[in-house]
Structure 1
Amino acid sequence: MQKTASVTDVARNFSEYVNRVSHRGEHFILTRGGKAVAELRPVPAGRKLSELPGILASLPRLGEEDAAAFGQDIDAAREELARAADYDPWES
């Protein structure tokens, strides 16, 4: 939500405006002499999707032995899950 506020008012009540921006997500266009001169808005959170390939490339890689052990763990978990699916805790 975008609103306008004078630079003087923002300077006098700076912490209030910062709280409104950070906690409520408000967006202010700051004016001086009736003309827009700046913006006060929340900083974008998170990362951009375009950064994903770089993030994935920076992750550590499993060695051959670790990858095989991980695959075995996944297979064992799937088998255990298949056996547990037949169990009904409400059955007496």
Structure 2
Amino acid sequence: MRTMTATEASRNFSDLLDAIEQGETVTITRGNHPVAEIGPARRRTGSDLRAALADVPPPDDRFAEDIAAAVALLDPERGDPWADA
């Protein structure tokens, strides 16, 4: 793991991102104290979402009613914001 000062990270940000993209984790220091560790982002998948929602109960009828009530509050002059989606 590489260490660099906040100033070095700022001045060489593109190089820092290149190293992280290649899988390196970098510790950023300020005044000789570590303040951050920056590493590669974890790619999220559908199975990650399923696992995160595993213990969440499905929406009930009240949820659908709440959505309908919220949509009814939309400004009729502006129309449905999801119509073109």
Could you tell me the TM-score, scaled by structure 1's length? 0.48
Distance 1:32 1:53 in 2: 37
Larger Rg: 1
RMSD: 2.5
**1:47 counterpart residue number:** 45
Gaps of 5+ in 2: 54-85
Give distance in 2, aligned partners of 1:19 and 1:27.
Answer: 11
In the other structure, the counterpart of 1:36 is 34
Equivalent of 1:25 in 23, 26, 29: 23
Q: By percentage of residues, which structure has more helix?
A: 1
Partners in 2 of 1:48 and 1:27 — Cα distance? 25
d(CA) in 1 for partners of 2:52, 2:38: 31
CA distance in 1, matches of 2:27, 2:39: 9
How is 1:13-92 mapped onto 2 (pairs within 5 angstroms)? 13-22=12-21, 24-47=22-45, 49=47, 51-52=49-50
Q: Distance in 1 between matches of 2:3 and 2:46?
A: 28
What is the aligned residue count? 53
In the alignment, structure 1 segments of 5+ residues that lack a partner are: 56-92
